[in-house]
Amino acid sequence: MTATLTPPSIPSLAVELRGLVCTFGTVKSGTVKSGTVKFGTVNAVDHVDLEIRAGEFYSLLGPSGSGKTTCLRLIGGFERPTAGQIRLFGQDVTGQPPYARDVNTVFQDYALFPHMSVLDNVAYALTVRGVDKATRNKRAGELLELVKLSAFASRRPAQLSGGQRQRVALARALVNTPKLLLLDEPLGALDLKLREAMQTELRSIQQSLGITFIYVTHDQGEVLSMSDRVAVFRDGRIEQEGTPQDLYEYPRTAFVADFVGGANVLPGALVGRVGGRFALRPERVEVSADGPGLNASITSVHYLGAQTRLELDANGVSIHALIASSRKFTPGQTVNLRWDAADLRPLED
């Protein structure tokens, strides 16, 4: 691994997953547990090893069905692993039910209790712990202040907007100051403007409280801007793990290169190497109407505002490039492509 941002001292670990497997479907009794794929079953999580440090904002990124949400549900205790171990802050919690774990979750659909007021929703974790009413209402009030919803304490969840519900869910999950907060695509249902505002807010709340956040999403843009570290999931396994810079600058596989930020995956022969495949970010491709370089023809032009995206064809390989919109190109035009050899990232097969 390319260690660009390794902290000098390793703080204590919040989460350790060891050889975690979660199998869905019917397992025939007497099946030999040697292989990872059994007939009629799917390993939603397939031998995942993961370490998350205390205080980190850690993201699990991947397309739907890649195992990231199952992984989160295993940490929360909503799914039982078929094999492997889950340790939270040094303690083995593998067989523990959700209520015994010092972990709270912000659910994708928020899961607010419709028959309770906003205040009672937020105070719920204290209510079930037998905290007296005055204390828990005071604490819940503080949390509502944190998410700027003090004026809505007596409302029902149905009377709130999506963004407000999302913040109530956050306040409810933070009221008993858990050591670890799990967030399952919490911004998925919000519109773009609100999502961006909430990203900033989530990050600042996480930093001011010092709580470890594990954040599940399929939105790579969200992940890059918020996370300390990211694990990219594919088919139940972790394809690559690292800081957002690591993943963007040094993708190890074609999948990561494409999923995080989008990249050209080019065969070695095309770029003057002996073999293998290489990732090249579209913004690092220089396009010029003449001069030296790889000959390519423009197949289409997409105007994106500040930038323009060009789809190109070079000897049958499709390449895309991002260029400043001030430069004009037309489809069908023949151009030359150049890049800095240092921007080519060798990919594993």
Partner 1 sequence: MRSERSSWGLRVAAYLGVAFLHIPLLLIILYAFTSEDRTYTFPPPGLTLKWFGVAFARQDMWAALWLSVRVATVATLIALALGAMVAAAMARARFRGKDSISLLITLPIALPGIVTGIALLSSIKRAGLEPGLATIVIGHATFCIVTVYNNVVARLRRLSPSQLEASQDLGARPFQTFRYVLLPHLATALLAGGLLAFALSFDEVIVTTFTAGAEQTLPIWLFGELFKPRQRPVTNVVAILVMLVTLLPILLSQRLTQGHEEMDGAGKST
Residues that bind partner 1 (CB under 8 A): 76-78, 97-99, 103-105, 107-109, 111-115, 124-125, 127-129, 157-158, 161-162, 172-173, 176
State how far the Cα of 4 lies from the Cα of 207, in Å rounded to an integer.
22
User: Shortest distance, CB of residue 262 to partner 1, whole angstroms?
Assistant: 32
User: What secondary structure, in 3-state letters, does the chain show?
Assistant: CCCCCCCCCCCCEEEEEEEEEEEEECCCCCCCCCCCCCCCEEEEEEEEEEEEECCCEEEEECCCCCCHHHHHHHHHCCCCCCEEEEEECCEECCCCCHHHCCEEEECCCCCCCCCCCHHHHHHHHHHCCCCCHHHHHHHHHHHHHHCCCHHHCCCCHHHCCHHHHHHHHHHHHHCCCCCEEEEECCCCCCCHHHHHHHHHHHHHHHHHHCCEEEEEECCHHHHHHHCCEEEEEECCEEEEEECHHHHHHCCCEHHHHHHCCCCEEEEHHHHCCCCCEEEECHHHCEEECCCCCEEEEEEEEEECCCEEEEEEEECCEEEEEEEECCCCCCCCCEEEEECCHHHCEEEEC
User: Shortest distance, CB of residue 109 to partner 1, whole angstroms?
Assistant: 6
User: Shortest distance, CB of residue 120 to partner 1, whole angstroms?
Assistant: 9
Beta-bridged to residue 50, according to DSSP, are: 17
User: Shortest distance, CB of residue 128 to partner 1, whole angstroms?
Assistant: 4
Nearer Cβ to partner 1 (180/231): 180
State how far the Cα of 94 lies from the Cα of 20, in Å rounded to an integer.
10
Strand 334-338 and strand 286-288: pairing? antiparallel
User: Shortest distance, CB of residue 113 to partner 1, whole angstroms?
Assistant: 6
User: Shortest distance, CB of residue 116 to partner 1, whole angstroms?
Assistant: 8
User: Shortest distance, CB of residue 81 to partner 1, whole angstroms?
Assistant: 17
Q: What are phi and psi of 306, to 5 degrees?
A: -65, -30
User: Shortest distance, CB of residue 171 to partner 1, whole angstroms?
Assistant: 12
Nearer Cβ to partner 1 (171/287): 171
Nearer Cβ to partner 1 (107/329): 107
User: Shortest distance, CB of residue 340 to partner 1, whole angstroms?
Assistant: 49
State how far the Cα of 153 lies from the Cα of 229, in Å rounded to an integer.
35
Q: What are phi and psi of 257, to 5 degrees?
A: -60, -40
